[in-house]
Amino acid sequence: MQLEFWGAAREVTGSMHLLRVGRKSLLIDCGLAQGRRKHAFERNRNLPFDASTIDAVILTHAHIDHSGNLPTLARGGFRGRIFTTSATEDLCNYMLVDSAHIQKSDVRYVNRRRKKEGKRPFEPLYQIGDVRKALSRFRAIDYHSWFTPVEGVRALFLDAGHILGSASVILEVTEAGRTRRIAFSGDIGRKGLPILKDPEVPHGADFVVMESTYGDRLHEPASAAKGYLRECASSTAEKGGVLLIPSFALGRTQEVVYRLNQLWEEGALPPIDVYVDSPLAVNVTEVFGRHPECWDKEMIETTRNDRDGDALGFRRLRYVQSVEESKSLNAKPGPMIIISASGMCEGGRVLHHLSNNLDKPSTAVLFVGFQAANTLGRKILEGRSPVPILGTMVEVNARVERADSYSAHADRNELIAWAESARETGNIQKYFLVHGEPESAESLATALRERGTAEVLVPERGQAFEL
């Protein structure tokens, strides 16, 4: 078999790995590359292979950097099946449609400039029709149930504990009478994350492709997250202001809501109204309710003991869908908590809330996710003022906080433990580290080399390996 790395190689986005077995081609993930707009756009548009030659796709989870370029694949003539878990399929129904809307508004912005320069306008990367084509290829498979994506390959999904529906996958490849196993970690979650089960480790692998996002960093324990929230909610309640939590619609939003619900149930939440203001988050949260097979024991018990039977809702919390209701929040007197996307403040309704509230000393902004360089979130976090929002400069007089304990990715120690457990049950010849900036991938590679005999590689984009 031959393994080719076409994304998330010495970087964290655009996950896409190609496994060739005999005459069959199997793609593992087909994510959007993100980063500098022009570069990302070119790369996402030009797949490095003919889409019609791909026989099947295995999708590890619904995050856009893993699933977001499936519509481009479908548009390019892919006619095979996309195998994934049932929860991932349901999430992609919303995530990919949302992504098509983002592609459209992104290109509109670029074209405004091109028009001024007298240049020909760009087409969006893909349209809703391409999303529909991709979604029609999905086939849901249960965790722990072997299936055959292409001739010569059996596959098994394990729970990766990263987001709802996330999976690691074991591929058992038989060629010329010889059978070997290659495991793809997908994104690896953390033990003790609320709602989700702990990550499972693939067994019996000969080769492992694993993520390394936080290969050089440690996280605060996930349990510390509740304390930050209580503290920020209390001081906002005292000041009568607004606590703004910029958060991505999938994963982090539900985690924050779950913690708030816990505080509410314990009677530890001060009297304050809570709004989740993101239509995508509303839809995604509804998908969480439909997939109890993905819940951990704590989530099942919390739901059972919850006063209103809902671990992602309570009397003072409202999910806001309509634009009118979102706008009406501005006229409401505080105190209140608003959770709104996007997580790095690069778009979405959070921009309106920031623009209306950042100049007030009674406002607090709590960042619960990573803020990439050059994003508005990063500027606010670094203490810049004024900051540009929706075409105007806004003074920052708000209190700005950040909670590091929120992360859906395993940290360095958890990644090492995961790799070590995989080694105990298999006869691993090679680890390939992907989905990490060069420093974190190399740092994890060094740690793994010190511990074992297997070869540890950090592939570059376009590199191919005969296994």
3 state DSSP class of 168:
strand
DSSP 8-state class, residue 222: G
Q: What's the closest the beta carbon of residue 271 comes to Zn ion, in angstroms? A: 36
What is the residue-wise DSSP string for 288-348? Answer: HHH-GGGB-HHHHHHHHHSTTS-TT--TTEEEE-SHHHHHHGGGS-S-EEEEES-TTSSSS
Q: Is 346 in the site for Zn ion (CB under 5 A)?
A: no
Instruction: Judge whether 179 and 164 are in contact, CB under 8 Å.
Output: no
* Cβ count within 10 A of residue 79: 11
Pick 44 or 67: Cβ nearer Zn ion: 67
The interaxial angle of helices 412-425 and 438-451, nearest 10 deg, is 40
d(CA 189, CA 209): 15
Rounded to whole angstroms, how far apart are CA atoms 425 and 203?
5
Answer yes or no whether residue 63 interacts with Zn ion by CB under 5 A: yes
Q: Which of 90, 187, 411, 414 binds Zn ion (CB under 5 A)?
A: 187
How many residues make contact with Zn ion (CB under 5 A)?
2
31: number of CA atoms within 13 Å, CB side? 28
357 burial (CB, 10 Å; 0-12 / 13-18 / 19+) is buried
Residue type at position 212: S
Q: Shortest approach of Zn ion to residue 124 CB, angstroms?
A: 24
Kindly tell me which of 68 and 246 has the beta carbon lying closer to Zn ion.
68
Question: In the bound complex, what is the minimum distance in angstroms from residue 11's beta carbon to Zn ion?
Answer: 14
Backbone CA torsion sign across 374, 377, 379, 381: negative
Nearest to 353 by CA among 394, 322, 317: 394
Q: Which part of the chain contacts Zn ion (CB under 5 A), choosing from 117-125, 129-137, 181-189, 293-301?
A: 181-189
C-alpha 364/C-alpha 404 separation (Å) is 16
The answer to whether residue 411 forms part of the interface with Zn ion (CB under 5 A) is no
**Shortest distance, CB of residue 230 to Zn ion, whole angstroms?**
27
Closest to Zn ion by CB, 246 or 251? 251
Query: How many separate helices (H) and strands (E) can be counted in the chain?
Result: 14, 22
Nearest approach in angstroms of CB 9 to Zn ion is: 16
Of 59-67, 71-79, 445-453, 458-466, which segment contacts Zn ion by CB under 5 A? 59-67
Distance in Å, CB of 183 to Zn ion, minimum? 17
Name the residue nearer to Zn ion (CB basis): 62 or 447.
Answer: 62
Output 61 or 349, the one with its CB closest to Zn ion: 61
Nearer residue to Zn ion within complex by CB, 63 or 252:
63
Distance CA 171, CA 152 (A): 10
Contact positions with Zn ion (CB under 5 A) in 314-333: none
* Residues numbered 70-109 forming contacts with Zn ion, rule: CB under 5 A: none
Share of the chain residues as helix, strand and coil, in percent rounded to the nearest 5: 35, 20, 40
CA pair distance 375, 311, nearest whole angstrom: 32
| Shortest separation between residue 171's beta carbon and Zn ion, angstroms | 20
Closest CB to Zn ion among 55 and 65?
A: 65
DSSP SS3 for 154: strand
The alpha carbon of 152 is separated from its chain's Cα centroid by a whole number of angstroms, namely 31
Site mask for Zn ion (CB under 5 A), range 154-173, x = bound: --------------------
Residue 39: CB minimum distance to Zn ion, A? 21
Q: Is 53 exposed, middle or buried (0-12, 13-18, 19+ CB in 10 A)?
A: middle
Q: How far is the CB of 63 from Zn ion (least distance, A)?
A: 4
Q: Which is nearer to Zn ion, 284 or 454 (CB)?
A: 284
Among the residue ranges 48-56, 62-70, 328-336, 451-459, the one whose residues contact Zn ion (CB under 5 A): 62-70
The one segment of 57-65, 74-82, 263-271, 289-297 that binds Zn ion by CB under 5 A: 57-65
Nearer to Zn ion by Cβ, of 63 and 219: the residue is 63
**What is the Cα–Cα distance from 386 to 453, expressed in whole angstroms?**
53
Q: Least distance from C-beta 87 to Zn ion, angstroms?
A: 14
Nearest distance in Å: CB 409, Zn ion: 7
Cis status of the peptide bond prior to 342, with omega within 30 of 0: yes
Could you tell me which stretch among 37-45, 73-81, 186-194, 344-352 binds Zn ion (CB under 5 A)? 186-194
Binding site residues, Zn ion, CB under 5 A: 63, 187
